[in-house]
Structure 1
Amino acid sequence: MRLDKFLKVSRLIKRRTVAKDVSDQGRVWINEREAKASSTVKVGDQLKVRFGQKSITVLVERIVETTKKDEAALMYTVLLEESHKTE
């Protein structure tokens, strides 16, 4: 599944266009490699997404084309959440 679609379906990011923009800005990594919106996400991959002041690292548990809001969190496991200070 494309990275931008996974971020949207899993609800890590609410809109696919925003997911595409974040990916293309170099703020998403798959298995510690910078990823673009068209990169492929597979079960077992580690994703790191940087949002302004924080970043989140998740492990991809499953891939589904569509999901309900309460089931979206089952697509990944949060491994690490970090806050970043700007100086």
Structure 2
Amino acid sequence: MRIDKFLKVSRIIKRRSVAKEIADKGRVMVNGKVAKSSTSVQEGDELEIQFGNKTLAIRVEKLLDTTKKDEAKELYTVISETYTEENRK
């Protein structure tokens, strides 16, 4: 599955177009390598996504084409969530 679709289906990012834009700007890494929006993800891959002042590290647990809101959290496990100090409240 493409990384932009996974980010949308898992509801980490609400819109696929936004997920594509973030990935194409080099703010998503898959297993330590910068990923483009078309990069494939597999179960067990570790993703690192940079959102402004937050970096989210997750592990892909399942791949599904569609999910309901309550099922979305089952697709990944959060490894870490870090914030930059300058914007931390």
TM-score class, shorter-chain normalisation, is over 0.9
Aligned-partner Cα distance in 1 for 2:72–2:39: 20
Pairs aligned (count): 87
Aligned pairs for 1:27-42 within 5 A: 27-42=27-42
- Misfit runs of 4+, over 6 Å: none
1:84 positional shift: 1.2
Question: What's the CA shift string for 1:52-78, capped at 9, x where partnerless?
Answer: 000100000000000000100000000
1:2 positional shift: 0.2
Partner of 1:73: 73
Partner of 1:25: 25
Aligned-partner Cα distance in 2 for 1:3–1:56: 15
**Structure 1 vs Structure 2: percent identity of aligned residues?**
52
1:85 positional shift: 3.3
Aligned-partner Cα distance in 1 for 2:3–2:51: 16
Amino acid paired to 1:21: E
- TM-score (structure 2 length as normaliser): 0.95
1:86 positional shift: 4.3
1:50 positional shift: 0.2
Question: What's the CA shift string for 1:12-55, capped at 9, x where partnerless?
Answer: 00000000000000000000000000000100000000000001
Partner of 2:5: 5
Unaligned runs of 5+ in 2: none
Unaligned runs of 5+ in 1: none
